[in-house]
Amino acid sequence: MAENIKTANYDALVIGAGIAGGEAALNLANNGFSVLLVEKDLSIGGKMILLSKVFPTLDCAACITTPKMSEISRHHGITIFTGSEVQKVVKKSENSFEAVVIKQPRYVVEDDCTACQLCEQACPVVVKDQYQYNLVGRKAAFIPFSIASPRVAAIDIENCTLCGACEKVCPTKCIDFTMEAEEYHITAGAVIVATGFRLFDPLKIPRYGYGQYKNVLTSMEMERQLAPTRPFNTVLRPGDGKVPDKIAYVLCTGSRDATVGNPICSQICCMYSIKQAQLLMGSLPMADVTIYYINIRSFGKGFEEFYEQAKGMGVNFIKGKIGKITEKENGNLILRYEDINENKLKESEHDMVVLSVGVLPNTDAAGIFREQKLEFDHLNFVGQKDPLASPAETNIKGVFVAGTASGPMDIPDSILSAGAASSEAMRYLIRK
């Protein structure tokens, strides 16, 4: 590998290609700066590209994300590395960073793949599909998801049995098992960290039964069931395929909860749960949807109106924290909670429970910055050096943070934060 090192030079290096990283890259490129956008995953788009519709406007997420992503992927000022990771970044001097980027092999020649899916059909290996949040399966030779960008096949080498079936059927002969990781040495004038967030893992709250009771799912799994590119074409209980008619939402799962180490509010889950409730009322008109909450935090532009609209549509809101969930034989779930309005402990039965999991920091960027370390705040989000006057600045001059890498945010706020990061990077690059 070492003998095959490639070098390249860009004005800015953007790490993470979710909506924040994408937006920042686009702003820079539209103003004439060259950008290398490095994404760990096989597709750009981050979490947003996998969402159903987005609050508070209820535009379909794909409809907003795909044109942005295709603009990004075709912009001549932007180079994209998917399936790649920034191994290290060292600041040499002002306006000069050196980075090592490793591009993992996809085992498919991107430019030649036509996304015909013949390899997918031929592959005998079935594993869980992470892009559908494990609701269904996929093959080891696969196109990540229908609106992925690039929409190109990849071989999941961990699960591949090297049977060669895909190679045989590929009409353009673009599958290449000899591909190796490529190492790039990059110089860049500025860096934007847009590595996003992680979702809370509900296994940490065993009393909610996630992973044990089949009909308890996370909000992201529900998001996939509601998306236009959804796996089942309708909403189903994973346990038995029954269409649910009494669905409960458990807000603040893993947020505002010091006992699981996350004392802060995740800022998005009230709103996305209200959104999902509205979508459920649309697709399952007979269903009952109940949201169990501590406080409803619909604070942004148009959010309170969105909450009122949900109440008007008949979504039930119950103020009370869920203590424990148990499963009945028929797969239904019993929720025990303290009903604050009535000031007593109660139980209710639902046939599907959605855990509105919260936002956790992604600390990936911690190990990347060598010599001068990137500072994180006490909650492990990327630290903002001057949150009031320059929210995108970090402790390293020339390194900026965009989107949820610095704390929970919805999409509109992530986009504005990315706007700020790109603006600061431009200023830094111009001022040199």
Ligand X SMILES: Cc1cc2nc3c(=O)[nH]c(=O)nc-3n(C[C@H](O)[C@H](O)[C@H](O)COP(=O)(O)OP(=O)(O)OC[C@H]3O[C@@H](n4cnc5c(N)ncnc54)[C@H](O)[C@@H]3O)c2cc1C
Residues in region 258-277 near another protein by CB under 8 A: 258, 263-267
For another protein, which stretch binds (CB under 8 A), given 8-16, 88-96, 144-152, 216-224? 144-152
For ligand SF4, which stretch binds (CB under 6 A), given 205-213, 263-271, 280-288, 373-381? 263-271
How many alpha carbons fall within 13 Å on the CB side of residue 275?
28
263 vs 367, beta carbon nearer ligand SF4: 263
- Residue 265 lies near ligand SF4 (rule: CB under 6 A): yes
- DSSP, collapsed to helix, strand or coil, labels residue 417 as helix
Contacting positions for ligand X (CB under 6 A): 15-21, 38-41, 46-48, 51, 54-55, 85-86, 194-197, 199, 219-220, 223, 268, 272, 275, 362, 364, 403-404, 409-412, 414
Per the CB < 8 A criterion, the answer to whether 123 and 81 are in contact is no
Report the nearest approach of another protein to the CB of residue 73 (Å): 6
Give the burial class of 14: count Cβ atoms within 10 A of its Cβ; 0-12 exposed, 13-18 middle, 19 or more buried.
buried
Cβ atoms within 10 Å of 67's Cβ, excluding its own: 10
Q: Which does 358 bind (CB under 5 to 8 A by kind): another protein, ligand X, ligand SF4, none?
A: ligand SF4
- Residue 269 lies near ligand SF4 (rule: CB under 6 A): yes
Contacts of another protein in 183-242 (CB under 8 A): 227-229
List strands edge to edge, sheet with 246-253: 216-218, 352-357, 246-253, 288-293, 316-319
114 vs 121, beta carbon nearer another protein: 114
Per the structure block, which two tokens stand in for 32? 């004439």
Number of H helices, E strands in the chain: 8, 23
* Angstrom distance (rounded) from CA 370 to CA 393: 18
Give Cβ neighbours of residue 426 (< 8 Å, ≥ 6 apart).
27, 28, 31, 33
Q: Which does 163 bind (CB under 5 to 8 A by kind): ligand X, ligand SF4, another protein, none?
A: none
**Beta pairing class for 154-155 and 141-142:** antiparallel
Contacts of ligand SF4 in 286-325 (CB under 6 A): 294-295, 297, 299
Sole binder of another protein in the list 34, 87, 96, 423 (CB under 8 A): 423
- Residue 64 lies near another protein (rule: CB under 8 A): yes
| Residue 19 DSSP one-character state | H
Strand partners of residue 327? 333
Q: Which does 241 bind (CB under 5 to 8 A by kind): another protein, ligand X, ligand SF4, none?
A: none
Report the nearest approach of another protein to the CB of residue 305 (Å): 5
Residue numbers at the binding site for ligand SF4 (CB under 6 A)? 251-252, 255-256, 265-267, 269-270, 294-295, 297, 299, 356, 358
